[in-house]
Structure 1
């Protein structure tokens, strides 16, 4: 994509996959479908490979996986990233309080770059998804652009209030009840949001450690909106994203990609 900033990807992969345990390997390496060459079926394709390919297609030059100690099968599988024509680096999780803290481990490496963000256990059906986010960021100058879609079960996602111009008015993480029907699942953000998140997490650190509760990326994005950052969106159709973090949805993904 035509952007003045280098493009990198952040993939938080420090989770324990409690909803899928026991597993003999990291959930990010669960086989979902197969590599294909024309009509020929090749080796099994792991769930996180879809996200890696889409970030590469969006123009990412490098990816940063954030890992928990012990999840060494992920770097063993992806190696240096040459298979995907990009560089892959692996960083260890610091504070165990959610995806924002995991992602902030990459701050030193990404603070002056355009960041693509996605969850490795969420399948995005659009190969050009990140390219479309970058195009919208170029067009609007937004600090963050979210990939949003109509969710079948809004209570399982961070739902968003989208204005007619595509800007995001508010984000509500996994509400028990809401009239909102659209949710976000992946993002593109500028150095302005990287800096905001880094500072916000430092401000929240003491209270988060005391409570022992995780902070979601949706909560940080909502804080950014409250503090005046410009958060925009690209809308995708219903069914664009599938979270394979539960046995039921993992089964759907396997059936869809097999």
Structure 2
């Protein structure tokens, strides 16, 4: 039986790739809602999470990004419950995600990045089904990408088991990258304990920033089952760069 489903959205980034903006990048207007009003980029991820059964979502924000809770409020407009947590360990996405540990431990997690547009609409539903069917600890959503150096590339076996995650390689024969994930309480606990052990390296400056893929790779190396679903007919578009933002604007307007 699956635990309660909760979403985690890391929204603490500076958005520096897009240059100076008058608002948080997660609130960039992109397309329109059914009623004709403007839609912001992170609403697409929220819709995916709601479709996957998430009833509550934790946004991890940094001090100063108060426009995000100001825009989304308590979540009632989305038939969900929203919470906002402050990032206090600026060492990468896993540390931001771990900020929600006390609130989500014991729950099944749906996770995505608020500046990546993903199709199809039932991605999280498919990932959660795979999580149950395979008894995996984590299931990654994989998509074909044109530029491996922008993504965490993923090597799997024929059964879909993730063997290796290669972060942003200069070149690669791998064609599939991950940009969504669901995981069990076991991974939430593993990540929490793993980050506690390695955090001193970041505090003293030995390491600077930890990507999410590195923690997933550590879970693989510790014997956890990491599965995947390949969405070969789907798409993922990171709108965090000007060139890809232009593509998204053309697609949605």
Please give the range of the TM-score, normalised by the shorter of the 2 chains.
Answer: over 0.9
Structure 2 unaligned segments of length 5 or more: list them. Answer: none
SS in 1 for 2:16: coil
1:255 to 1:239, Cα distance in 2 relative to 1, 3 A: farther
Question: Would you say the 8 A contact 1:29–1:47 is kept in 2?
Answer: yes
C-alpha displacement at 1:177, in angstroms? 2.1
1:116 aligns with one of 110, 117, 142: 110
Q: Does 1:246 align with 2:241?
A: yes
RMSD over aligned Cα atoms: 1.0
Task: Tell me which of 13, 16, 20 is aligned to 1:15.
Answer: 13
* Contact 1:115 1:190 (C-alpha < 8 Å) held by counterparts: yes
Superimposed CA distance per residue, residues 15-63 of structure 1 (whole angstroms, 9 cap, x where no aligned partner): 00001121000000001111124xxxx1111000000111011000100
2:29 aligns with: 31
User: Cα distance, 1:4 vs. partner?
Assistant: 2.5
Distance across 2 between alignment mates of 1:46 and 1:155: 27
Residue 71 (structure 1) aligned with residue 65 (structure 2) = yes
In the alignment, what sits opposite 1:220? Answer: 215
Q: Is the 8 A contact 1:151 1:238 kept in 2?
A: no
1:230 and 1:84 mapped to 2: Cα distance?
A: 33
CA distance in 2, matches of 1:251, 1:239: 19
Contact persistence 2:120–2:234 (CA under 8 A): no
Q: Deviations over 1:63-121 (max 9, x none)?
A: 00000000000001110111111100000001001110000000011110000000000
Give the secondary structure class of the aligned counterpart of 1:225: helix
Question: C-alpha offsets along residues 204-225 of structure 1, whole Å, 9 cap, x if unaligned?
Answer: 1011222351100011111110
Matched with 2:201 is: 207
Unaligned stretches of 5+ residues in structure 1 = none
Cα separation, 2, equivalents of 1:21 and 1:68: 18
Distance 1:179 1:220 in 2: 23
Counterparts of 1:26 and 1:68, CA distance in 2: 10
When normalised by structure 2's length, the TM-score is 0.97
Give the TM-score normalised by structure 1: 0.96
Match of residue 87, structure 1, among 81, 84, 106: 81
Residues 29 and 46, structure 1, Cα contact 8 Å, conserved in 2: yes
- Using the TM superposition, give the Cα deviation of residue 181 of structure 1 relative to its aligned residue in structure 2, in angstroms: 1.1
SS in 1 for 2:249: helix
Runs of 4 or more consecutive aligned structure 1 residues displaced over 4 Å after TM superposition: none
Question: Does the alignment pair 1:126 with 2:120?
Answer: yes
Which secondary structure state, in structure 2, belongs to the residue aligned with residue 19 of structure 1? helix
Contact 2:2 2:132 in 1 (8 A): no
